[in-house]
Amino acid sequence: MNLVHLAQAKSPWVLHYDASSCNGCDIETVACLTPLYDIERFGAVPIGSPKHADMLLVTGNVNHKSKRVLRNIYDQMTEPKVVVAIGICATSSGVFHQSYNVLGGADQAVPVDVYISGCPPRPEAIIDAIIMGAEKLKKKWKEEEHPVKRSNQGSDTERSTADVG
Amino acid sequence: MPSRTVIPFGPQHPVFPEPLQLTLTVEDEKVVEAVPSLGYVHRGLEKGAELNDFVKNIYLAERVCGICSFMHSWTYCSCIEELLNIEVPPRAEYLRLIFAELSRVHSHLLWLGLYADAFGLESLFMQCWRVRERSLDMQEAAGGGRVILSACTIGGMRRNLDEDMRRAFIKEVAEIRRDFERLVPVFLNDYSIKKRTVGVGVLSKEDAQSLGAVGPTLRASGVRSDARMLGYGPYKEMDFEPVVEEDGDCYARGVVRVKEVLQALDLITRALERLPEGEIKVNFRGRLKGEVFKRMEQPRGEMLYYVRASRNKNLDRFRIRTPTFANIPPLLKMLPGCDLSDVPVITLSIDPCISCTER
């Protein structure tokens, strides 16, 4: 693993997209950036463009209209990339599971690496998830440099889910 | 004839935490037309509410919007209480006011932070959110949750304040006030804020009224209108006077919100001092019948709830009209003629809450 990749895994640039959340998880995600929780001490920097981002934070369940947008954002991000589903809506559509316009969690549109539950999750849980995502990013860089034969692997490699809280 | 360009603004844009799409037609740097496109956050909540028991709908109503979630649960509960003819104990009504005004404080501070971020004052954004965390700590101490509380229920409140906490809250409100007052001169007098906001996105008094603007957007245009003047809950005993500004530009909308934070802190202190003793919840039984409208003032403006039921445990119809929905036509009136660089500031100045709008 070269120095650049190590640095990138230590300082993930995060992009936030609200797939169809009620704002609760969004403001907690933004609260992570502010002085009390200050996620920059772990190297995570919020960024506006998908092309610069290493990590996608998805809040809210996926609906018919946001599915395409979420997919577009994901496709624009460069490899390797990590998706974190924040909140119970992004995990399994939560309280809105009966609604006609809700397709399900974020995994209906993009492959998710880390799930966190909670409605909304506490900022500490979000920070924990971002750190887990960064670990995942490091693993993906390593895999990219030393590709392992697919047939030797079990089912729980990069698509596995690490549950937090 | 300058050439026209179409620029998509959103749905994913660094200024907004939420997806709002505006299709902007620009001539050189001037916006000539803005067309909004909604539906990225539509969850079908109103229909979902018809599938649930009416008691469980409190949790759904709270999740119309995570920022003003307490106001939504209060409005929904008071609709049901009116249908069931429940008299809510006065202590519960005062507690509701305290939580509602706390969420107004945190909502306005959140907005002031995002607003500062929109024209690049990042440290002011951080300062606003630092002060806001104190109000969230109060909500957590009293309600059990930072953002979504589930403290309001049909017939009263689920959470009480004990005497120690009441005294601590009065002290804490004074400290939030002291912290916030250090930021107020920046919002009122700072040269770069004035440069970016004075005379930008002007909405005249006539336009504001005819297009049906609500909340701070309406009051910044010189119209004295606030649903709290109706005197629902304990507001009738609070000598409530709305904050009104005359200019109708982005600066005036900012000033209205700054003054409303101070006013909300005053209201909380007054309510804490006058907090009556007694029960916080009454039990209820019976089935719902009839229909009811309720108007209440959210941080973003007036919202309207409509509930209809006919002796079932489910509702027949549940309808919400939210303030941002009412403020989108005024926004489309403000945008034509402005510079492209002012679009984020003007759009933010109505305090868009997309999850309310689209539900």
Domain holding A129: CATH number? 3.40.50.12280
Q: Does A131 touch chain B (CB under 8 A)?
A: no
Task: Choose the mutation target among B146, B147, B315 for the interface with A, i.e. most A CBs under 10 Å.
Answer: B147
pLDDT band at residue B325, thresholds of 50, 70 and 90?
A: confident
Contact B329, B10 (CB under 8 A): no
Structure tokens at B74: 């209060």
Instruction: State residue A164's pLDDT score.
Output: 44
The domain in which residue B251 lies consists of 4-358
Count of beta carbons in the 10 Å neighbourhood of residue A147: 8
> Which of A99, A102, A122 should one mutate to test binding to chain B, selecting the residue with the greatest count of B CBs within 10 A?
A99
DSSP string, B39-85: -TT---HHHHHHHS-TTTHHHHHHTT-SSSHHHHHHHHHHHHHHHHT
Name which of A15, A17, A20, A124 to mutate to probe chain B: the one with the most chain B Cβ atoms within 10 A of its Cβ: A20
Nearest-neighbour CA in chain A from B204: distance (Å): 31
Q: Is A91 on the interface with B (CB under 8 A)?
A: no
Beta-carbon contacts of B114 under 8 Å, excluding residues fewer than 6 positions away, are B15, B17, B125, B348
Domains identified in chain A, total number: 1
Q: Is residue B185's pLDDT more than 70?
A: yes
How many whole angstroms separate alpha carbon B279 and alpha carbon A1? 65
Q: Is the pLDDT of residue A157 over 80?
A: no
Quick one: pLDDT band at residue A149, thresholds 50, 70, 90?
low
SS3 content of chain B, % helix, strand, coil (to 5): 50, 15, 35
* pLDDT score for B1: 65
In the predicted model, is pLDDT for residue A118 greater than 60?
yes
CATH code for the domain of B155 = 1.10.645.10
pLDDT of residue B108: 92
Place B173 in a pLDDT band, splitting at 50, 70 and 90.
Answer: very high
Contact B287, B312 (CB under 8 A): yes
Locate A117 and state its tokens. 């539950």
Of the listed ranges A33-42, A126-135, B266-275, the one predicted with least confidence = A33-42
Mean pLDDT, all residues of chain A: 81
Please compute the mean of the pLDDT values over residues B31-59 and round it to a whole number: 85
Q: Across residues B202-220, what is the average pLDDT?
A: 88
> Which chain A residues have a beta carbon less than 8 Å from that of B112?
none
Task: Indicate the pLDDT class of residue A106, thresholds 50, 70 and 90.
Answer: confident
* Predicted pLDDT at A1: 66
Burial state string for B226-236 with b = 16 or more CB within 10 A and e = fewer than 16: bbbeeebbbbe
Comparing alpha-carbon positions, the chain A residue that sits nearest to B122 is A34
Q: How many CB atoms lie within 10 A of CB B4?
A: 11
Domain boundaries, position A67: 3-148+157-164
Which of B232, B260, B228, B227 is closest to B244 using CA atoms?
B260
Both structure tokens of B326: 């009412």
Amino acid at A85: A
Mark out the alpha helices in chain A (DSSP H runs): 3-10, 24-31, 66-76, 87-92, 123-145
Tally of domains within chain B:
1
Is a pLDDT exceeding 60 seen at residue B290? yes
Gap between the Cα atoms of B296 and B206, Å rounded: 23
pLDDT at A156 over 50: no
pLDDT band at A36 (very low <50, low <70, confident <90, very high): confident
Short-list B358, B312, B293, B289, CA closest to B50: B312
Contact assignment for B41 to A21 by CB distance below 8 Å? yes
Burial tier of B2 (Cβ tally within 10 Å: 0-12, 13-18, 19+): exposed
